[in-house]
């Protein structure tokens, strides 16, 4: 049996490409929730978090299956987002990148990153108002289509903040450190923070790791310092957000931009 009116899903947030929402299913014992056919981590009380990718369709669909067998399907619209272009000097594959040993190293790094995000925790950091991880201004926005010379590359996967070597980096919301690793080839010194329900922050190019894997941190707590490690042309912080396989815009999640 499918119902569209008796029960409802409440959503608050930024319903836009690159945006996000906190949700709650009203009424009944919830079995599962899906966003566009993909499973959504959900608490027993019906609360959940969802996010939308840069190139997501402007029409989204939530499907709720209740424990009693009833199903609710609710469609909603996403606002389009105009992502800018970013033009950088032309680059070619380096000798290091062409080295099979580098390919093996990179595969190991990516495996560690995937493993760190493999099991969403139930921390409640996702419910908090997120704060800026650094004081510097935004220098490169999420979703910017990057061009190296005339060649289009992957859009920017996070938000870059200006900063000097050693500037403090704080947790934008509370959570569990699931990876604090030095020396990643592209990311440099890297921290991944689990905020719960599939929502993760990643902090790249750090000069110092102020936390260890497994550590619990609070919003505003010092976790590292701005650096230029990994592939970076200057000191800055790259902050990325990842939910359930979706990269989305950190600036849209900030309480104050």
In words, the CATH class of domain 2-77 is mainly beta
pLDDT confidence band for 184 (50 / 70 / 90): very high
pLDDT of residue 99: 81
Q: What CA–CA distance (Å, rounded) separates 56 from 59?
A: 8
112-131 per-position pLDDT tens digit = 999 999 988 889 999 999 99
Domain 85-253 has CATH 2.70.70.10: yes
Bigger pLDDT: 6 vs 255: 255
Asked if pLDDT for residue 257 goes beyond 50, the answer is no
Domain ranges of the chain: 2-77, 85-253
Asked whether residue 158 carries a pLDDT value surpassing 50, the answer given is: yes
Q: Which string of DSSP letters, residue by residue, matches 72-139?
A: EEEEEE-B-----EEEE------TTTTSHHHHHHHHHHHHHHHHHTSS----SGGGSPB--SSSSPEE
Say whether pTM exceeds 0.85: yes
């Amino acid at each position: 049996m499918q119902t569209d009116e008796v029960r409802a899903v409440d959503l608050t947030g930024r319903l836009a490409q690159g945006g996000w929402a906190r949700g709650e299913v009203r009424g009944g014992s919830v079995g599962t929730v899906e966003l566009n056919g993909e499973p959504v981590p959900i608490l027993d009380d019906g609360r959940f978090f969802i996010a939308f990718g840069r190139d997501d369709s402007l029409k989204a669909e939530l499907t709720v299956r209740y424990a009693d067998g009833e199903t609710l399907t609710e469609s909603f619209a996403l606002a389009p987002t105009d992502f800018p272009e970013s033009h950088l000097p032309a680059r070619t594959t380096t000798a290091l990148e062409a080295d099979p040993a580098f390919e093996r190293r990179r595969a190991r790094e990516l495996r560690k990153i995937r493993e760190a995000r493999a099991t969403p925790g139930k921390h409640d950091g996702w419910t908090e108002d997120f704060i800026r991880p650094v004081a510097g201004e935004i220098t490169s926005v999420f979703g910017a289509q990057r061009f190296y010379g005339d060649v289009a590359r992957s859009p920017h996967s996070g938000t870059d903040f200006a900063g000097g070597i050693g500037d403090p980096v704080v947790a934008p919301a509370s959570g569990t450190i699931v990876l604090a690793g030095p020396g990643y080839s592209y990311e440099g010194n890297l921290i991944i923070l689990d905020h719960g329900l599939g929502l993760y922050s990643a902090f790249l190019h750090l000069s110092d790791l102020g936390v260890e894997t497994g550590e619990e941190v609070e919003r505003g707590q010092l976790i590292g310092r701005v650096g230029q490690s990994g592939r970076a042309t200057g000191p800055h912080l790259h902050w990325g957000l990842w939910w359930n396989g979706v990269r989305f815009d950190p600036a849209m999640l900030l309480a104050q931009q």
